[in-house]
Amino acid sequence: MATDPFQLFDDWFAEAKASEPNDAEAMALATADAGGRPSVRMVLLKGHGPAGFVFYTNEESAKGAQLAANPRAALLFHWKSLRRQVRIEGPVERVAAADADAYFASRSRDSQLGAWASDQSRPLDSRATFERRFKEMQQRFEGADVPRPPHWGGYRVLPERIEFWSDRPHRLHERRLFERQDGGWCEGLLYP
C-alpha cells in the first residue's frame, strides 16, 4: 500500500480547513431505514482517526432511528475549493457515554439548551413553540451546568471503504479506493 488512508485524509482535511470558506468538517451523512429507503443530510465531523469518523446528534431523530434499524452509513466530504471529495462507507457504532458527555460539555450553552428543547425531525406547529421551549430550558437550567440529554449522543462510522476523488481536466478524474481487508487496507484505482 502506497499510502495510509487516514494520513491521506488528515492531509486533505488540513488543506480543506485552510481553504474552505465555510465548515471544512461538513459532511453528507447517508443512512437508510429498515426497508432500505435512503436519506441524506449534512452533519459535522467531530472526531476522526483509524477508529472511525464521529458525529453527534439527537438519537431520537430520523437519522438516529435509521441507524438503530440499519447501523450502516456513508459519508461524503466535498471540498469545492480543492476540487476534491472523500467518500467513506461502513458500519456504525455508538460512541461511549463519557465521550458524548465530554463533547456535549464543549458545546455552546445555547446549543446545549437547544438539544433539550428540540424534538429533532418531528413535526413542529410553529417556530414560536420551539422558541418557547428554548426559553423554558433557559429557565430550567439557569445558574447550572446543562447536562447531556439522555436522547443525545454520538456515532462512529467504522470505515470499510474510503475513496479519494480528485478533479482532473476533461473529467479525467483520479479515484483512489482503499478497502479494508484482513485487518489492513488494500489500495486500488477506479475509472473516473
- Name the residues annotated as catalytic: 171
* CA–CA separation, 31 and 70 (whole Å): 8
Q: Which three cell numbers stand for residue 144?
A: 447550572
105 within 8 A of 159, measured Cβ to Cβ: no
Q: Which three cell numbers stand for residue 143?
A: 445558574
154 within 8 A of 56, measured Cβ to Cβ: yes
Residue 96's SS3 state is coil
Report CA torsion sign: 32, 33, 35, 40.
Answer: negative
- Among residues 119, 114, 100, the alpha carbon closest in space to that of 46 is found at 100
